Structure 1
Amino acid sequence: MKIISTKARLHRNSEQIRIRRHQLRASGLKRNVEHLRRLEIVRLNKPILVPAPKVFILNDDRHRDSIIFFLRELERNLDAGLKVKIDFTDTIKLHPCGTLYMMANLDNLLVRFPGVISCKLPKDNIVEQLFKHLGLLSKLGRSSGLAVTADNVVNWHYATGSDATTSAFKALLFQHSEAMGGVLVRSNLYDCMSEAVTNTKKHAYPKESEFLNNWWMFSQARDDILQVAICDLGIGIPKSLLDKPKMEDYLRKLFMIGRQSSHDKTLIKLASSTSRSSTGLEYRGKGLPQMLDFIKNQDEGGFRAQSGAGSYTYNAFSKKDKAVTHRQSIKGTLVQWTLKLKSE
C-alpha cells in the first residue's frame, strides 16, 4: 500500500477544495443567470416557454411523470406571476386518460390565471386537429387552419359540467348509439356514467375548493371499440375512503405499516370491490362496484380506476385484475371503460 506524504495529501485536499469552489461559483452563476432571465421576461412582459410532453398517457410511469412535471412547471411559473406559453411542438400522441387529465388541469389554470396562458401549435397534424376539435386551441387564444377530418379525431367526443345532471354526457353517449347496438348496453353504461358523475358531486370536492368543482368526460367509438373516460380533480378515492368514520378501524388494521402512497392501489381495489363480506360496511353505495360489474359482465373490454398514486385495472377477456403503485400521484380520480362493440 502506497503511503501518501503529508504534502501530497494537503495538495490533493486543496485541489479538491478549489474544484468544489469553482463548482459552487458556476452553480451560483447559473442560478443568477436564470434569475436575470426571469426578471427580463417579467420586464418585457414576455411569456416563458414550457415544453409539453411528447405523449399524453397516465398508464405508464415514464409518460405519467412527464405529464405531472409539465403541469407542476406550468403552475410554478404562473404562481410566480409569469405569462406562460405551452410548447406543443413535439407532442405526437394523445391517449384519452392523459389528454383528459391535462384538459381538466388546464381548465382550472385558465380560471385561476385568466389571459396569461397561450400556446405554440403542434407539428403533428392529428394532434392539432384534435386540439381544435376539443376546443383547446380556442381556449388558449389560437386558431387553426386545419380541417378536422381524421377518423381518429372526429370520433372523439368531449363534455364537462359542474352538476350531476345527465344531459351533457347523455348527448355524448348517444353519439355512439348506432355503433353500440343494444339498448341494454347503452342503458348500463349510461347508469355507470351517471353514477360516476354523482360520485363526483357527493364525494370528490370539499366545500371549500380552489378547483373548479367539475367533471370532464371523453368518449370515442372507433374500430369496433368504445372508450369512455371520466375525470375529476377532487380529493380522490383513497382520501374519500379514509374520511369515512366506519372504515377507520378496518383500514387501521389493513395498513399498520408502510407509505401511504403504496396503500392507494389497495384502497382503489377495495372501493371497486362488490364483496362487502370482508368489511361488512356500506361505504361506497353503488359507485365503482357497479362500474366494474358492468365490465365483468362483458366478454371483452376493460376497466381502470386511477387516483392518487394508485391504479386498479380489470381485463374482461382474461378475467384478471391488477393493482399498481405509480411514482407520481394525480389529483382526483380518473375512471375508464373499454368495450368491444357488438355488430348485428
Structure 2
Amino acid sequence: MKKISEDNKIRARRNEWNAIWRIKRPRNRIKRDRSSRTSIFSAPVKFDIFNERRNDLINFIEDIKNSVKNGCRSVLIDFSKTNKFISGGAIIFYAEMDRLLDIYPKLSIRCSIPLNQKASLVLQQIGFYKRINKPFKKSACNHDDISNWRVAKGHGVLGEQYDVILGHYDGVITPALQGELYAGLTEAMTNAHHHAYISRRSDGIITPKNYKPWWMFSQEKDGVLSVVFCDLGVGIPKSLPFSDDDGWRKWYLVLSRFGMQNLGDARLIRGAIRHSKTRTRLHNRGKGLTQIVETVNATDGGTAIILSNSGWYQIRGGEETYDDYPRSIHGTIISWQMPLGERSES
C-alpha cells in the first residue's frame, strides 16, 4: 500500500478543516447577522392604491413587512424612481411603515431621497423623513398641492385632530358642511376604535390589544379638498359579523341565512352604507359610512371613495360604482373630495 506523503497529509488536513469551517461558520454568521443585515427595497414609480398600479404598491409594502416579520431589522427604501404620490397610496404606505416602527422598536428604516423634487417634498411634508429620523435639509415648498398636505394620527376620538386636518379651511367650507364633515370624521374615528380592530389582522403581525390607530391626510389641489382616513384593522367586510350596529347586524344575519355573506367585499361595503343604523339613533351620531357618503354626495362635485380589504365603493353625482380587486389592502381607506369656495380676503 502506497504511503501518503507528508504534503498530502497536510493538504487533506487543510481540506478537512475547510469543510468544517464551511459547515459551522456560515451558520453562526447567519444567526448573528440576520437582524443586522440590510434589506433593500425599490419603491414604486407611483404610489396609488386606486388604479392599475396598486399591485406595485401592495407588493412593495408586503415585501417590507414579510422581511421584518422574518427578522430583518434594517430596511433601506430606494425612492430613486418614485415621481408621484397620490393621497390614498401615500397614506397606506405611511400608515404601514408607522405601524412597523411602533411594533418593532429595534427596526431601522432608512431611505434614499427621490430624484423627483416634488416626490421628496411630499415625503417631507407628510413627516416620513422625520418619522424614520432621516437627517435632511428642509426645503421651501412652492407647490400649493404639496404645502397644503396635513397629517394627523390618533387613537379613539380626538376632536383636536379635526383642527389639524380641516381647521385651515375655516371660512372656505360652509359651516353646515363643516359640521357634517366633523360628524363624519369623528364617526370614522369611533368605528376604527370599536370595530376595525375587533379581531386580529390577517398579515400575521401581532399587536397589543389596545393598539388601535388611525391616520388622516388632507390635501388641497386645484381648488379641490381631499380628506383621506385610514385604519389598518380587519376591514369593513370582516367587522360586520361583530358589529353592534343594528342595521348592519340584521342585514348581515339575513345574508348569512341565505349563504350570501361571501358575495365579495364590494357588495358588503355597499350594504354597510345602505343599512347603517345604530342603537343610539342620535342626531349626527352613529350614521357611520352613511353619514360620510350622504354629506359628500350632497355637495356639487363631491366624491366619496371607500376601499376596504379587496372591495371598493365610489359615489359621484349620485351614481354608485363598486367592484372587487384581486388583492386586499388588509384595512380601510375612506376618501372625501369636494370643491372649495373662494377664500375671503382678510
Q: Give TM class, smaller chain.
A: 0.7 to 0.9
Structure 2 match to 1:194: 186
Q: In 2, Cα distance between the equivalents of 1:168 and 1:275?
A: 25
Aligned partner of 2:254 among 245, 250, 256: 250
Structure 2 match to 1:156: 149
Structure 2 match to 1:210: 207
* Aligned residue type for 2:267: T
* Aligned residue type for 1:49: I
- 1:248 deviation in Å? 4.4
Q: In 2, Cα distance between the equivalents of 1:249 and 1:40?
A: 51
Q: In 2, Cα distance between the equivalents of 1:44 and 1:342?
A: 52
Q: In 2, Cα distance between the equivalents of 1:253 and 1:274?
A: 17
Q: In 2, Cα distance between the equivalents of 1:290 and 1:53?
A: 34
Q: In 1, Cα distance between the equivalents of 2:31 and 2:197?
A: 39
Structure 2 match to 1:135: 127
- Count of residue correspondences: 296
Counterparts in 2 of 1:207 and 1:322: CA distance versus 1, 3 Å: closer
Counterparts in 2 of 1:326 and 1:207: CA distance versus 1, 3 Å: closer
Structure 1 match to 2:5: none
**Partner SS state of residue 235, structure 1:** coil
Structure 2 match to 1:7: none
Q: Indicate if the aligned counterparts of 2:265 and 2:308 stay in contact, CA closer than 8 A.
A: yes
- 1:249 deviation in Å? 3.2
Aligned partner of 1:111 among 75, 89, 102: 102
* Aligned residue type for 2:255: L
Q: Indicate if the aligned counterparts of 2:35 and 2:71 stay in contact, CA closer than 8 A.
A: no
Q: Indicate if the aligned counterparts of 1:41 and 1:48 stay in contact, CA closer than 8 A.
A: no
**Unpaired runs of at least 5, structure 2:** 1-25, 201-205, 244-248
Deviations 1:129-178 (A, max 9, x none): 11112211122231222413122211111100012121112332111224
Q: Indicate if the aligned counterparts of 2:251 and 2:275 stay in contact, CA closer than 8 A.
A: no
TM-score, with normalisation over the residues of structure 1?
Answer: 0.79
Percent identity over the alignment? 28
Structure 2 match to 1:229: 228
Structure 2 match to 1:15: none
Q: Indicate if the aligned counterparts of 1:48 and 1:84 stay in contact, CA closer than 8 A.
A: yes
* Aligned residue type for 1:67: L
Q: In 2, Cα distance between the equivalents of 1:108 and 1:40?
A: 26
Counterparts in 2 of 1:254 and 1:335: CA distance versus 1, 3 Å: farther
Structure 2 match to 1:49: 40
**Unpaired runs of at least 5, structure 1:** 1-34, 277-281
**Partner SS state of residue 91, structure 2:** helix
Structure 2 match to 1:76: 66
- 1:233 deviation in Å? 0.7
Q: Which has the higher helix share?
A: 1
